[in-house]
Amino acid sequence: MAEKLTADWTLELNVNCPHCNEEVDLLTECDFWEDRPNDFSILFLKDQEVYCPECGEKFTCDFDH
């Protein structure tokens, strides 16, 4: 019998920091989900304050699906 194949989900939310131009995957930040909805409405949030781990600056961005 052939081995059953599985597919893995990959989820990223990338933005370039306007201060240092580093690409940041916001989902890797440990506090990303704090005070944010955990449903599909998160796909379209506006003016979200985020943090660049590379340069330490905070900035806002819109989430776009």
User: Is 52 exposed, middle or buried (CB count within 10 Å of its CB: 0-12, 13-18, 19+)?
Assistant: buried
Domain membership flag for residue 6 = no
Taking the CA atoms of 33, 35, 37 and 43 in sequence, report the sign of the dihedral they define. negative
Instruction: Please tell me the total count of domains within the chain.
Output: 1
Domain membership flag for residue 45 = yes
Distances (CA, A) of 61 to 2, 8, 20, 28, 65: 46, 28, 15, 16, 13
Question: Which pLDDT belongs to residue 30?
Answer: 82
Domain assignment of residue 37, given as a range: 14-61
Domain membership flag for residue 36 = yes
Q: Identify which has the larger pLDDT, 43 or 19.
A: 19
State pLDDT tens for residues 5-20.
999 999 999 999 999 9
Domain membership flag for residue 7 = no
Domain membership flag for residue 1 = no
